[in-house]
Amino acid sequence: MVSSSGHRPPVTEDVAEAMIKDIKSSEGKTPTSEVPLAFQTGAGRPPVDPVAINNTRKQMTLFGTFAVGVLLVLLVVWWAA
């Protein structure tokens, strides 16, 4: 429970013992992953395709250039008026 000041109350000994018991009872059941998340490939993570990344980068650069050009034209028209 969080108090109105936003801080949690101190953990009592009973709660600390229960937490330690939970941690110790779950040890050894599931292996810890030693592979960094950035290098994991799995069902939920699509493989990284450098060609697709480069195409996206080119498209975003072209869009950014176009957007800056439109803004410059609008500024020139606004200043000329």
**Amino acid 23: pLDDT:** 76
**Amino acid 30: pLDDT:** 64
3-state secondary structure of 17: helix
Sign of CA dihedral 39, 40, 42, 45: negative
Task: With cut-offs at 50, 70 and 90, classify the pLDDT of residue 73.
Answer: very high
* Mean pLDDT in residue range 3-12: 67
* Model pLDDT for residues 33-62, shown as the tens digit of each residue: 566 666 666 666 666 788 888 999 999 999
Sign of CA dihedral 57, 58, 61, 62: negative
pTM of the model: 0.42
